[in-house]
A and B are shown apart, each in its own frame.
Chain A
Amino acid sequence: MFKAIIKVTLKEKILDPQGKAIEHSLHNLGFHSLGSVRTGKNIEITVDERELATAEELIRSACTKLLANQVTEDYEYQIFDGNGSALASFNSRRGVESISGHAG
């Protein structure tokens, strides 16, 4: 059993009006040095599989098929084991994959 945490954000070149509204509010509150606010979605999913490679393939497929609209959104995920150790991560913006192995 694995757990995946997926983050979906608008591509960098696409205006994030919600981020802009939050930024304006922060500035109104006096946080003048805070900027470039971007929002996104956080999705947590359990994967009932034995093999990490299978789990990762399923999560990748779920991201491209449903969770992110690749016309407008980037996605990234981390996959954890039952103890909360990160085993794999991917970021569609960077397009690179890094299997970090058991970090914890």
Chain B
Amino acid sequence: MAHKVGVVVFPGSNCDRDAFNAFGTVLNQKVEYLWHKNTSLDGADVIVLPGGFSYGDYLRSGAIARFSPIMNEVIRFAQQGGLVMGICNGFQILVESGLLPGALLRNSSLKFICRQVYLRTETSATPFTSSLRVGDVLKVPIAHGDGNYYADDSTLKGLQDNDQIVFRYSTSGGEITPESNPNGSIMNIAGIVNTKRNVLGMMPHPERASEKILGSASGVMVLKSVIESLN
């Protein structure tokens, strides 16, 4: 049975269609766009906050989108245990909203980086990585200027103690090295979940690595995990 995936569209979102394609065409789910001014999630089983540049990244990436009307519903949905997935700008919106800890700073190189990276799966104990094994390496693209994950020492310790670090930038062989860290993220962190494990934020784009024709299909495992965990 197909599940209903709600893709939130903010002014400036630009990966909403990639998410639609990956969930709708590749994985045969029902996908609905949810305009940011909506005050209902229309019965969606999972919410995707897509990549892009909501509100032109004004003030801080995600800072203004976080107060869009639909975010009240997204926060309520997340607090009730609903699955929420924030990719790239979506991750930035989730940290701004307080659903995920930490912050995303300017890339240490100050450059916008658009290229393929490798991610090592750090935990399979989330609805987003249940089809993966710890150590599995995914090849997915990044495309961001503010992806430098930061958390203070106590937050970082909490993330480690609670197994909340989901993906880390690595070599193609799964080694965590300074050279494989594209943006200066603390501990090479590329993606995390909340303590309840139902909210994922990640800077890389699994939805843009969902078919071989796109250069890699390994990102689809993340989306498949989401659908399977709903079954």
Contacts and interface: CB of A to CB of B under 8 A. Distances in A.
B149 to A, nearest CB: 11
Interface of A is mostly: mixed
Interface residues of A, number: 12
A35 interface: no
A66 B151 CA distance: 19
Interface in A36-90: 41, 66-67, 69, 71-72
A81 to B, nearest CB: 27
B189 to A, nearest CB: 14
Interface in A1-30: 10, 14-15, 17-18, 21
Chain B interface residue number, banded:
10 to 19
A17 B96 contact: no
Interface in B179-221: 184
A18 B105 CA distance: 11
B106 A18 contact: yes
Given A17-B110, A18-B110, A71 B67 contact: no
Contacts of B151: 71
A5 B96 CA distance: 23
A15 B108 contact: yes
A21 B111 CA distance: 12
30 contacts: A14-B105, A14-B150, A15-B105, A15-B108, A17-B106, A17-B107, A17-B108, A17-B109, A17-B110, A18-B106, A18-B110, A21-B110, A41-B59, A66-B59, A66-B63, A66-B64, A66-B67, A67-B59, A69-B60, A69-B63, A69-B96, A69-B103, A71-B95, A71-B103, A71-B150, A71-B151, A71-B152, A72-B103, A72-B105, A72-B150
